[in-house]
A and B are shown apart, each in its own frame.
Chain A
């Protein structure tokens, strides 16, 4: 299984940008990069995903390195509600197919200071 490496924890101040890194040096050419987050005592929430190009949505941006061996989730202005565990996951399975499963690592615990 392609694995990811993330820092155990990071800290940020409210209203400042946050860059959450993820290393995935064994990524294969068909693996998508997914990011989920989990607030305390809740199920995970989809944040963003991408393949090669950088992606933006209303929640965050995803910057993918040219060699795809790493990526960075960017929260442009952190709020207290962004405090959560952020998981970087490689989607297993064939590209374009729906037969995949998500394997969660330990993630990064983001603390946001007021």
Chain B
């Protein structure tokens, strides 16, 4: 099956700093990528949807200036958490879908962010 990777798998940062998470589709071109967040014992919450070369569409309640998403190529999307705070600590998961006829959505392994 198609593979989606994320880097880093774990990151610890200090409060007030920014951290960037990369999501790559390794063996297919992803015209659409998604970013989810998951708090402990909870389900995945969709944060935003991005199409290659376009601005991301954010879900209600997600601050676009805090969570910067860039989908500059068909195989790479990045999520930057700006001015991170402890409440941003979470499991961030990206997902990618191919273009035409791509009904399946493939998920990355997730990135554990801890803000101290």
Contact = CB atoms under 8 A, between A and B. Distances in A.
Interface of A: 32, 36, 38, 41-46, 49, 87, 91, 98, 101-107
Contacts of B4: 43
B60 interface: no
Interface in B59-116: 91, 93-95, 97, 99-110, 112
Interface residues of B, number: 30
Nearest to A99: B32
Interface of B: 1, 4, 6, 31-32, 34, 36, 43-46, 49, 91, 93-95, 97, 99-110, 112
Given A43-B109, A43-B110, A98 B32 contact: yes
A44 B34 contact: no
Q: Which of A91, A101, A104, A105 has the most CB of B within 10 A?
A: A101
A45 B107 contact: yes
Contact of A46 (B1, B45, B112): B1
A43 B103 contact: no
Nearest to B98: A98
A43 B93 contact: yes
Contacts, number: 55
Chain B interface SS verdict (over half): strand
B43 A106 contact: yes
Nearest to A41: B110
A49 B103 contact: yes
A98 B102 contact: yes
A30 to B, nearest CB: 13
Contacts of B93: 43-44
Nearest to B108: A43
Contact of A103 (B31, B46, B100): B46
B99 A101 contact: no
B109 A42 contact: yes
A98 B1 contact: no
Contacts of A102: 34, 46, 95, 105
A98 B110 contact: no
Given A101-B49, A102-B46, A104-B45, 12 more contacts: A38-B44, A41-B91, A41-B112, A42-B109, A43-B94, A43-B108, A45-B107, A46-B105, A98-B102, A102-B95, A102-B105, A104-B43
